Chain A
């Protein structure tokens, strides 16, 4: 069964450093998303991406964040200068275009630890 994959599973970085989290969505999906979950808190929407542009973003997704689909398979989230409060689990999700339910399939997540 096709699934969303994410790498790395765990990333440790120093405050102020740039990180890139990678995702490979399900191959025939055209909508892509990033969510984050700070330990003990709710999952929060960050951004949705379709047709090579951001379709919606939350207040969390400020100028420090960017997303890119550099090729036909990868979808990346870049944090330019990490802060301590960026420590969280980051989930990538994808969905099929045109689905009324817009069922989103989530990856296993990348745990980001900022020291």
Chain B
């Protein structure tokens, strides 16, 4: 069964600190892996997209890594800001047709 699992479920960090979120997936066939940021009551917003041949991709303070052999990904956030407080969702696309398989998200809270 295609699944995406994330850890931790929730995380609290102080403003300015770094953090790393984890994602494991069992999706086949694999097309690409995305990280989305979802603010409460809003739609997900794409942060990064990686195919199996890409090991790392950055978007500002966000850096995603992908190990297609172990089927693991991480999202590293540097110098966190209060506005980073949101749910971060790992999403895998099984094919180019578009169906996305979502993880349950990591709820990040950045405190002053």
Contacts and interface: CB of A to CB of B under 8 A. Distances in A.
Contacts of B49: 101, 103
The number of chain A residues touching the other chain, given as a range, is 20 to 34
B104 A104 contact: no
Nearest to A49: B98
A95 B105 CA distance: 22
A31 interface: yes
A55 B96 CA distance: 12
A25 interface: no
Given A101-B32, A102-B93, A103-B49, A45 B99 contact: yes
Contact of B98 (A104, A105, A109, A111): A104
A102 B98 contact: yes
Interface in A30-49: 31, 33, 35, 41-45, 48
B108 interface: no
The number of chain B residues touching the other chain, given as a range, is 20 to 34
A111 B31 CA distance: 30
A43 B45 CA distance: 13
Contacts of A89: 41
Contacts of A43: 44, 89, 100, 102
Interface string B74-112: 000000000000000100010011111111110000000
B99 A108 contact: no
Nearest to A9: B41
Interface in B38-62: 41-46, 49, 51
B43 A106 contact: yes
A48 B43 contact: no
A55 B98 CA distance: 9
A108 B44 CA distance: 8
Q: Which of A41, A102, A108 has the most CB of B within 10 A?
A: A102
A45 B41 CA distance: 18
Given A101-B32, A102-B93, A33 B43 contact: no
Interface of B: 31-32, 34, 41-46, 49, 51, 89, 93, 96-105
6 contacts: A31-B98, A45-B99, A56-B97, A102-B97, A102-B98, A106-B43
